[in-house]
Amino acid sequence: MRNYLLTTAAAGAFALAMNSGASAAGWDGADDLPTSPLACDASAPAAPAAAKPYDGGKAVNAPDKASKEISLVDVPKLIGIGYFNATSKGITDGAAELGNVKAKTDGPTEAKIDEQIKFIDNYITSGVDGILFAANDPVAIAPVLKKALSKGIHVVGYDANSTPDAREWFVNQAEFNGIAKAMMDSMAKEVGENASFGIVTSTFTTPNQARWIAEMQAYGAKCHPKMKWLETVEAQEDNVLSFNQATTLLNKYGDKLQGLFGMTSVATPASAEAVTKANLCGKVAVIGLATPNAMKPYVHADCVKSVVLWNPIDLGYAAVHVMRAVVDGKLKAGDTSVDAGKLGKLNVVNGSEILLGPPFIYDKGNIDKFDF
């Protein structure tokens, strides 16, 4: 009797566990925000939207360090992957150029929000002047960031946002709908309008990936209605897991899968490797966000035709300039643009986000020009 009960329970649990891929219906970006798909034609992403009132947080009683040296810590989602090595380099370059900024990158070795919170907490205690972050979870990171703000520490995010009131500014690499448009258009160009695709992402609740997928679904429904979204799988920014998940998708759907999206800079090369190992190069398209260096072998082997990204070095560079502007009082609530050194003037969108620019597509023609 007990054995029977246990086996039924186990069977039920496994059935539920099998369901852990999200189905196409009702993906709400796991954060309940509305989507705003761009126009279907090739028009450039829109100019800055109508000004939204500033909705960021405020550092309480921050010491006045205008033009004085400040010490920053950068806490990305995790350390040790090419993408965040690049943003870290951008931050170091920006700090060196400004001259009066000391910046250090430190973070967890796995993309875990709990570890990231502990890192930030320790740096609050050790008394830095500013914190730069890329969040693993927008809501979970908010309490510790608000604590930083309440202690007079400036907080600027990049790459992955937190809730707006937990940081002063957020440097967005590209508009979410712009990335969605670039990804879906690239896929449609490569495998056609009737294709079915799968998505390999980090976790379903990582802020930026979740928003991109939500926008991709909205844009796909609007402009590529015949493309079928088969499944999204989680791979936690882990190389081996991404490869395994991609291979599982290839085996599960066989001929029915024509394209794979990689939503993180770890998932895309891993998916390309999975496609290469399964001898499906040219038959299954791999489109995704990745650093050029990781994708050079696959692009040269014609396995991957195009890689969508922005320049993460510029992202880190912009973040450190925004932080300096905030400390110097040159960037205040209500401003519409900020001066970011060699990047020129960056626009403020969505109240407290600073836009880096339109997404950039790397392909065989230009990928060798970049080294990160």
Partner 1 sequence: MSAVTTSARASRARIFLRHETVLAALLIVALFGLGLFNDRFLTVDNLLNQGRLMTEIGLIALPMTFVIITGGIDVSVGAMVGLCAIVLGYSWKNLGFPLPLAVVFSLAVGAAAGLANGLVITRIKVPAIITTIATLTLFRGLAEGISQAHSVRGYPDWFYFLGQGDVFGVPTQLLILIIAIAVFGVVLDRTSFGRTLYAIGSNETAARFSALPVDRVKLTAYTLSGLMSGISAFVLVSRVTTTRSDMGMGYELDAIAAVLLGGTSVFGGSGTIWGSVIGLVMIQLLKNGLALTGVKGDATIMVIGVVLIASVLIASSLQRRRE
φ/ψ of residue 200, rounded to 5: -110, 120
Residues in 172-231 at the binding interface with partner 1, rule: CB under 8 A: 203-205
142 contributes a contact to partner 1 by CB under 8 A: yes
Considering only 20-28, 57-65, 214-222, 250-258, which stretch makes contact with partner 1 by CB under 8 A?
A: 20-28
Residues in 91-110 at the binding interface with partner 1, rule: CB under 8 A: 106-109
16 contributes a contact to partner 1 by CB under 8 A: yes
Report residue 288 as tokens: 């995704």
List helix spans (H) across 70-229: 82-98, 113-126, 142-150, 176-191, 207-223
**How many CB atoms within 10 Å of residue 251?**
11
Round to whole Å and give the CA distance between 322 and 144: 21
User: For partner 1, which residue of 44, 50, 53, 126 counts as binding (CB under 8 A)?
Assistant: 126
To partner 1, the closest distance from the beta carbon of 178 in angstroms equals 24
C-alpha 176: how far from chain center:
9
Q: Which is nearer to partner 1, 207 or 292 (CB)?
A: 207
To partner 1, the closest distance from the beta carbon of 162 in angstroms equals 11
Q: Which is nearer to partner 1, 118 or 300 (CB)?
A: 118
Round to whole Å and give the CA distance between 213 and 108: 25
Q: Which is nearer to partner 1, 125 or 279 (CB)?
A: 125
Q: Ramachandran region of residue 359, left (φ > 0), alpha (ψ -120 to 50) or beta?
A: beta
Q: Are strands 70-75 and 259-262 parallel, antiparallel or unpaired?
A: unpaired
User: Which is nearest to 199 in space by CA: 136, 242, 239?
Assistant: 242
Q: Which is nearer to partner 1, 151 or 228 (CB)?
A: 151
355 contributes a contact to partner 1 by CB under 8 A: no
Round to whole Å and give the CA distance between 282 and 305: 9
Let me know: does 178 contact 227? Beta carbons within 8 Å. no
User: For partner 1, which residue of 63, 127, 334, 365 counts as binding (CB under 8 A)?
Assistant: 127
Q: Are strands 353-355 and 345-349 parallel, antiparallel or unpaired?
A: antiparallel
Considering only 8-16, 56-64, 167-175, 360-368, which stretch makes contact with partner 1 by CB under 8 A?
A: 8-16
Q: Which is nearer to partner 1, 97 or 121 (CB)?
A: 121
Q: Which is nearer to partner 1, 244 or 347 (CB)?
A: 244
Q: How many residues bind partner 1 (CB under 8 A)?
A: 42
Report residue 286 as tokens: 């791999």
Q: Which residues bind partner 1 (CB under 8 A)?
A: 2-3, 6, 9-10, 13-14, 16-20, 22, 28, 30, 79, 106-109, 112-114, 117-119, 121-123, 125-127, 137, 139-140, 142-143, 203-205, 234, 236
